[in-house]
Amino acid sequence: MMHSRIISTGHHIPGAEVRNSDLKQFPSNAIPLIEQKTGIKARHYAAPEQCTSDLAYLAARECLAKAGLDPGKVQGIILATSSPDRIQPATAARVQALLNADQAFAVDVNSVCSGGIYALHFADCLIRSGQYDNILVIASELYSKILNPSDFATFPYFGDGAAAVLLGSDPASPGIIGSIIKTDGRGHDVIQVPGGGTMLPGPQVSNPRDWYFTMKGREVYDFAVARGSEIIDEILAKYQVDRSQLKVVVPHQANISIIDAIAVNSGIPRSKFYVNLYNYGNTAGASVMIALSEVVASGSAGPGDQVLLVAFGGGLSWGAALIKL
């Protein structure tokens, strides 16, 4: 049976650091609440002329360079994003062109903050099918352009960034041990950008706020803690992995309180949870992938170590993946 393994990773964090104190549009007495509520101290924003595919390209280029793989030999590109360049075509198509990966199919996945794990799951399934020898998985988000700068409930908490993972085939042993993805469509309006699609087309948008990202914060928190905790139990049981065997847990970097609660509920020591939201904020579908790339680059986990990824986001959606580096 064919398996997939991680050949290389890469990530790109754009622009200069924007600290909480730089968000001058908000009252000074509100600024300390950002860190107090979420742990976020700073984030990065892409340059005005950059779009999501630009960040994706830079992360992918680094990933392929580490692998020493010519882009022309990439067989597939799966891009997770909930902040696409345009409604159509797929943002992945422009990334393919930028890379000169002319032999690769290119497709987008939009599962908001769960997108990175969804894309890994699909790529793993395609490689296991035996039809592909490699697939480049990318997650790229540019939320600074879909957030309302005056909305304190959303704007301070998100940042821009991208990451990539190159999966290759391996007949001997799995690098991705297994993954689980789930959706509860009853929560489809909990996290959304209301305007611009066929439900609320541009000419019908009367409230300018409908062009921007919105979420129901309390519902998101409760959902993330409950489903994030449950799926950890489920995936460890399904693949018969004991908590003590995990080297690192890489959770979606949404809110430090969510991460702390999931650590308690899962019975996994908080010290095993990798956290980078302090400096990047919530990079949505890219957050888990950026963190994984940092874990690999820093040596926080190495060859043979088992790493657990877990994410939750709009849809409502959630997922987990067990990886052996």
Q: Which residues are catalytic?
A: 113, 252, 282
> 229's torsion region: left (phi>0), alpha (psi -120 to 50) or beta?
alpha
Residue 271: CB partners within 8 Å, gap ≥ 6?
A: none
8 A C-beta contact, residue 38 and residue 255: yes
- How many Cβ atoms from other residues are within 10 Å of residue 43's Cβ? 30
8 A C-beta contact, residue 191 and residue 183: no
243: exposed, middle or buried (Cβ count in 10 Å: 0-12, 13-18, 19+): middle
Residue 28 to residue 30: CA distance in whole angstroms? 5
Residue 170 to residue 253: CA distance in whole angstroms? 30
- How many Cβ atoms from other residues are within 10 Å of residue 33's Cβ? 14
8 A C-beta contact, residue 310 and residue 250: yes
Which residue, among 182, 164, 172, 175, has the nearest Cα to 98 in the 3D structure? 164
CA 131 from chain centre, in angstroms, equals 26
285: exposed, middle or buried (Cβ count in 10 Å: 0-12, 13-18, 19+): buried
